[in-house]
Structure 1
Amino acid sequence: MYRRLNMSSVNATIDHCDVPYKFTYQALSGIMIAEFVLGLPLNLSVLYVFIFRFKFWKNKSIFLFNIVVADFLLVACLPAKAYHYLHGERRSTDDLACKTMLFMLFLNRGASIAFLITLSIDRYFNVVHLGRRNFVKVLKKTPQISIFIWVLLLPLTIPTMLNTFECCNSHGREVETYYHDVTDTLREVVFFTQIIIPFVILVYCTVRIVNRLNKKTVGEKTKLRRAVWVVLSVLVVFSICFLPCTVARAVLLAVRLKKWQAAEDVAVQVYDSLMVLSYIDCLLDPVVYCFCNSGFKNAYVATFCPVSVQKRLITSESGQVSPTTTKTFSSPILEKKPEAEC
C-alpha cells in the first residue's frame, strides 16, 4: 500500500506533457504553420540568391550564408512542432523524436546567435578600431572557420541527449538524483549563457558604434549610420526572438521549483508562446542580410522585384548604378568600400 502511494506521489511530480489548455496550443500551432508557410519560400529565395546570383563565396559573406542554413534547420522543425501542439501535446511521445527536435532547435539557436554576434563584432572593429587588424575579417574569409563554429556548437547540445527529459524540460520535476540534477542544471546553464553573454556583447558593440557616430564629422557619417543599422537590426532580432523566452524560462523554473502548480500552468503557456514567437527569427534574419550587405540586397531586388521597384530601390542608394552592373550584383560603391560589408 505504501509503495503504491509512493509511486503515485512520484508520478504526480512528473510532467507528462499534456497541455494546460488545448485552445492555447491549437492557436500556437496555427502561428507556427504561418511561420512555416512564410519562412520556407523566403529562405528558399534567400538561399537561391546567395548561391546563384550573389555568389556568397566571392563576396566574403560566408557567415551570412551560415545564418541561412541555421534558419532552414528551424523551418524544418516547425511542421512537427505544430502537429504535436495541434494534438494537445507539448512534444512527441517518442523520446528519440523529442530529443532530435530539441537538438535541432538548440543547434539553430546557437548557430544563429554565434554568427549574428560575429557579424556585429566585425562591424564594431571596422568602426571603433579602424586601422587595427580585424581578426574577424580575417576569419570570415576562411570557410573552415564556419565549420569549426558548427562543430563547437555540438557539445552544447549534449545535455539534451544525456537523459530522457519529460517534455524535454525536466528540471525540478524528476526524482531527485545527483545525475539528474547535474544534467538538468548544465542544460539550463547552456540555455541562459548562450543568450545573456551574446546580448551583453551586442549592447556593448551598439553603444560604442553609436558613440563613434556622434563624434564623427558629417562626411564620415554615411558608413557609420550603416554600421549602426546593422547592429540595431541584430539587437531587434535578439530583443524579439531570444530575450522574452529567456525571461519566461527563468520564471517557469522559479515557479516549478516552488511547486506552485497553478502558476506553473500559466508560466508554461507563456513560455511556450514566447518560444513560438522566437521562431520568427527565420523571417527577420533576411532584414539583417540587407542591412549588412548592400550587394545582397541589390541582388535580391534584381531577382525578385519588378523593374520599376528595382530602379526605385537600387538607384536611390547607389546613384546611377544599375542592378546588373556586375556579375555577382555587387555595386561599384560596395567594391570600393569592402569594409562596409559583413
Structure 2
Amino acid sequence: LSAIEGGHFFDITYQVLSWVMVGEFTLGLPLNLSVLYIFIFRYKFWKNKAIFLFNIVVADFLLVGCLPFKIHHYQHNLRRSEDTVLCKIMLFMLFLNRGASIGFLITMSLDRYFNVVHLGRRNFVKVFKKSPQISVIIWILLLPLTIPTMVTTFECCNSHGRVKETYLHDVTDTFREIVFFSQIIIPYIILVYCTVRIVNRLRKKTVGEKTKLRRAVCLVTSVVVVFSFCFLPCTIARAALLFVRLKNWQDAENIAVQWYDALMVLSYSDCLLDPLIYCFSNSGFKDVYISTFCPAFIQKRLTNSDSGTTNTPTYTSTTTTLLNSRSVSR
C-alpha cells in the first residue's frame, strides 16, 4: 500500500512540475525571442559593447529550448528520457547553458566591480567586452566541463553511490559532481564579494543624485538575490541527495530525488529573470525595447518614471559621477 501511495505521489509531483515548466516556457520563449530580436536588429549589441549581455541571452534561449523535452518526460512521469542518447544530449545542454550563463554573469559583475570600486585602474574585463573572440573562448572553455555527460559509462540522473562502480565510472561521477558544485559555489563567492564592495563604495558616495545611487545599489543586490533564488536551493538539494544515496537510505532518497528535481525546475526560472535584470539594467537597451513593443501610453508613463536617466547602464552613470567627483577633489 505504501509503495502504491508513494508511486501516486511521485506521479502527482512530476505532473505539477511539468505544468510549472509549461509556464516557464510560455513566458520565457516570447521574452527571450523579443530580447534577441532587439539585440540583433535594433540595439546592435556589437556596437554598444553589450556582447556579454547577448551571450547571456543566447544561453537563456538555449535553456528555454530544452524545456519542451523536459515537459514531455515529466508529463509521462519520467525523470529523464528512456533514450540514452537524448538523455545525454539534454544533460550536455543543461550543463553548457548553465555554465555559460553563470560565466558571463560573473564576468559582467567583475566589470561592474572594477568600474565602481577601482576607478582609475586598468580594467582588463573592459578590454574583453570589446572582443567577440573572448566570448567564443569562454564557450569553448566550458566544453571540457561537459565531458562527464559524453562518456559512454555515464549513467543519467547521477549514479554516484547507486552501484558498484569501476574506477573510470567513479572518476566520471566524481568529476561531474565537482563541476556541478564548483560551478555554483565559486561564482557565488565572487559575486557576493563584488556586490558587497560595490554597495559599500556607493554608500560612501555623497556627491550625485541619491535616486540613481539607490538604483545602482538595488541592481547589484538583485543580482545576488536572483542567483541565490535560482541556483543555491538546487545545489543544497543535490548535496542532500548525494548524502542519502551514499548512506543507502532508500526511502529518504525517493523524497530527496523529488525535492532535487523540483528545485531544478525552479532554477529554470533563470531564463525569465536574467532579461529583467541584466538586459533592462542597460537603459539604452530598455528604451529601444519599450519603444518597439510597448503601446504609446505605456511608453509615456515609463519615460516619465525614468526621467533624468541616460542611455547608459546604471552603474556607468554612477561611475561617471564618481569620476567627476574625483577630478574635482584633485
Normalised by the size of structure 1, how large is the TM-score?
A: 0.86
> Residue 90 of structure 2 is aligned with which of 80, 92, 101?
101
Please tell me whether the aligned partners of residues 245 and 253 of structure 2 are also in contact (alpha carbons under 8 angstroms). yes
What whole-Å deviation, never above 9, does each CA across 1:175-215 have from its counterpart, x for those lacking one?
22211111100000000001000000010011101111221
Asked if the contact 2:36–2:57 (Cα under 8 Å) also holds between the matched residues in 1, the reply is yes
State the partner residue of 1:216.
205
Map of 1:127 onto structure 2 = 116
For residue 231 of structure 2, give the secondary structure of its aligned residue in structure 1: helix
Write out aligned runs for 1:275-290 (5 A).
Answer: 275-290=264-279
Residue among 189, 194, 197 paired with 1:200: 189
Q: Is residue 88–residue 156 contact of structure 2 (8 Å, CA) maintained in 1?
A: no
Q: Which runs of structure 2 are paired with 1:295-334 in the superposition (5 Å)?
A: 295-319=284-308, 331=311
2:230 touches 2:270 (CA, 8 Å); kept in 1? Answer: yes
| Greater Cα offset, 171-180 or 228-237 | 228-237
Instruction: Tell me if structure 2 keeps the 8 A contact 1:199–1:238.
Output: yes
Candidates 161, 171, 183, aligned match of 2:160: 171
Partner of 2:3: none
Are the structure 2 counterparts of residues 110 and 162 from structure 1 closer, same or farther at C-alpha, using a change threshold of 3 Å? same
Alignment of 1:1-342 (within 5 A): 21-219=10-208, 221=210, 224-319=213-308, 331=311, 337=317
Q: Given that residues 74 and 104 in structure 1 are in contact (C-alpha distance below 8 angstroms), is that contact kept between their aligned partners in structure 2?
A: yes
User: Residues 116 and 319 of structure 2 are in contact (CA less than 8 Å); yes or no, is this contact kept in structure 1?
Assistant: no
The change in CA–CA distance for 1:191 and 1:82 in structure 2 (over 3 A counts) is same
Measured in 1, the distance between the counterparts of 2:38 and 2:177 equals 37
Identity of aligned residues (%): 73
**Which amino acid is 1:68 matched to?**
V
The alpha-carbon deviation at position 255 of structure 1 amounts to 0.2
Partner Cα distance (2:97, 2:248) in 1 = 31
Q: Residue 48 and residue 291 in structure 1: after superposition, are their counterparts in 2 closer, same or farther (change >3 A)?
A: closer
Q: 2-side partners of 1:224 and 1:131: how far apart? A: 20
Is the deviation greater in 309-318 or in 258-267?
A: 309-318
> What amino acid is aligned across from residue 82 of structure 2 in structure 1?
T
Q: What does residue 3 of structure 1 align with?
A: none
Counterparts of 2:180 and 2:79, CA distance in 1: 19
- The count of residues paired between Structure 1 and Structure 2 equals 313
Three-state SS of the structure 2 residue aligned to 1:21 is: helix
TM-score (ref. length: structure 2): 0.89
Distance (whole Å) between structure 2 residues aligned to residue 224 and residue 218 of structure 1? 10
Tell me the distance in 1 between the aligned counterparts of 2:271 and 2:246.
Answer: 33
1:103–1:160 Cα contact (<8 Å) kept: yes
Question: C-alpha deviations, 1:248-286, integer Å up to 9, x for none?
Answer: 000000000000001001100000000000000110011
2:208 is paired with a residue whose SS is: helix
**For residues 157 and 313 of structure 2, what CA distance do their matches in structure 1 show?**
50
- Name which of structure 1's ranges 167-176 and 149-158 shifts more when overlaid on structure 2: 167-176
Structure 1: 5+ residue stretches without partners? 1-17, 322-329
**Alpha-carbon offset, residue 84 of structure 1:** 0.7
- After the TM superposition, which of the residue ranges 172-181 and 52-61 deviates more from structure 2? 172-181
How many Å separate the matches in 2 of 1:20 and 1:259?
Answer: 21
Q: Distance in 2 between matches of 1:101 and 1:216?
A: 47
**Cα distance change on mapping 1:205 and 1:332 into 2, 3 Å:** closer
RMSD (Å) for aligned C-alpha atoms: 2.2
- Equivalents in 1 of 2:32, 2:313: separation in Å? 27
Report the counterpart of residue 327 of structure 1 in structure 2.
Answer: none
